Amino acid sequence: MLILECPYCGVTADETELAAGGEAHLKRFGPGSSDEEFEGYLFHRQNPKGVHFERWRHANGCGKWFHAARCTASLEVFATYTAQIAEPPAEVIAAIRAKRPDWSPE
């Protein structure tokens, strides 16, 4: 039963107020992309046992989508941050590295 802080309204939200939305920072491939790129975009999800960037919506709340960096093995949450960004911000990377020195972004 996770709790995540919504970066938009500042509420520490219960999991039941949220909706999970899968892997974050996917790059959309549309018309003109190769079959391989498109397959990767739709189906090849990161499935790490460890640090994972993911999307959540504060559905029973302010309605905003946000991102979380979370460990799928311990469920530790390193940071939550707004969705309008194409890759994890440097301070989020730093927060993860502080807790998981062996981890590095791809």
Partner 1 sequence: MSKASALMGARSDGATMVEEMGLRGMITVKGDLSDIDLKNAVTGTSGLDFPAQRQISTVEERALAWMAPDELLLLCPHDEADQMVATISRHLAGQFATVINVSDARAMFRVSGPDAREVLAKLAPVDLHPDSFGPGEMRRTRLAQVAAAIWQSDDDEFLVVCFRSVAQYVFDILSLSAQDGSDVGYF
Partner 2 sequence: MRRYSAFAIAREAARYHQGWERAWAAPEPKKHYDVIIVGAGGHGLATAFYLGKNFGITNVAVIEKGWLGGGNTGRNTTIIRSNYLQDPSAAIYEKARSLYETMSQDLNYNVMFSPRGVIMLAQTHHEVRGYQRTAHANALQGVKTEFISPQRVKELVPIIHLDGPRFPVLGGLWQDRGGTARHDAVAWGYARACSDMGMDILQKTEVTGVTSEGGKVTGVETTRGFIGCTKLGMVVAGHCGVLAEKAGFRLPVESVALQALVSEPIKPCMDVVVMANTVHGYMSQSDKGEMVIGGGTDAYNNYTQRGSFHHIEETVRALIETFPMISRLKMLRQWGGIVDVTGDRSPILSKTPIEGIFVNCGWGTGGFKAIPGSGWGFAELVAKGQSPLTDAFGLNRFREGRFIDESVAAGVAH
Partner 3 sequence: MSTRLSSGGRLVNRSATCEFTFNGKRFTGFEGDTLASALLANGQTLMGRSFKYHRPRGVVASGAEEPNALMGIGKDGKFEPNQRATTAELFDGMQATTQNHWPSLELDVGAVNSALPRFLPAGFYYKTFMFPRPFWKHVFEPVIRKSAGLGKAPKDRDVDRYEHFYAFVDVLIVGGGIAGLQAALTAGASGARVLLVEQTAAWGGRAAVDGVEIDGQAAGEWINNTIQELKNMSNVRIRTRAMGAGVYDHGYSLVYERLTDHAPETGGPRHRLWRVRATQIITATGAIERPLSFAGNDIPGVMLASAVRDYVVNWGVSPGDRTVVVTNNDDAYRTALALLDAGLSVPAIIDARADVTGDLPQALRARGVDIRTGTGIATVKGGKTVAGVSVCAQAGEGAATDEIACDVVAMSGGWSPVVHLWSHCGGKLIWDEDHAHFRPDPDRAPVTHDGTAFVRTAGAAHGTMSTLDVLDSAAKSAIAAVEAAGFKATQHDLPLTNDVVEAPMSPVWMMPQGAGPAKRMKMWLDYQNDVKVSDVMLAAQEGYESVEHTKRYTTLGMATDQGKLSNINGLATLAIALNEDIPQVGTTTFRPPYTPISMGSIAGEARHDVFQPIRRTPIHEWHEAHGAYMEPVGQWRRPYCYPRNGESHDDAVAREVLATRQSLGLLDASTLGKIIVKGPDAAKFLDMLYTNMMSSLKPGKCRYGLMCNENGFLMDDGVVVRLDDETFLVHTTSGGAEHTHGHMEDWLQCEWWDWKVHTVNVTEQWAQIAVVGPNARKLLEKLGADFDLSAEGLPFMGWSEGKLGGFDARVFRISFSGELSYEIAVPASQGRVFWDALHAEGAEFNATAYGTEALHIMRAEKGFIMIGDETDGTVIPQDLGLGWAISKKKEDYLGKRAQERSHMTDPKRWKLVGLETLDGSVLPDGSYAVADGTNANGQGNTQGRVTSTYHSPTLGKGIAMGLVLNGPDRMGETIQFNKVDGSTVATKIVNPVFYDPEGEKQNV
**What is the rounded distance in angstroms from the CA atom of residue 64 to the CA atom of residue 30?**
25
DSSP string, 46-71: ---SSEEEEEEE-TTTT--EEEEEEE
> 42, 48, 94, 105: which one contacts partner 3 (CB under 8 A)?
42
The single residue listed with the structure tokens 């949220």 is 18
Q: Which two tokens stand for residue 63?
A: 């309605």
* Residue 29 interacts with, from partner 3, partner 1, partner 2, none (CB under 5-8 Å by kind): partner 3
Q: How far is the CB of 4 from partner 2 (least distance, A)?
A: 10
Contact positions vs partner 2 (CB under 8 A): 1-2, 15-16, 19-22, 35-36, 39, 42-45, 47-49, 52, 54, 70, 72-75
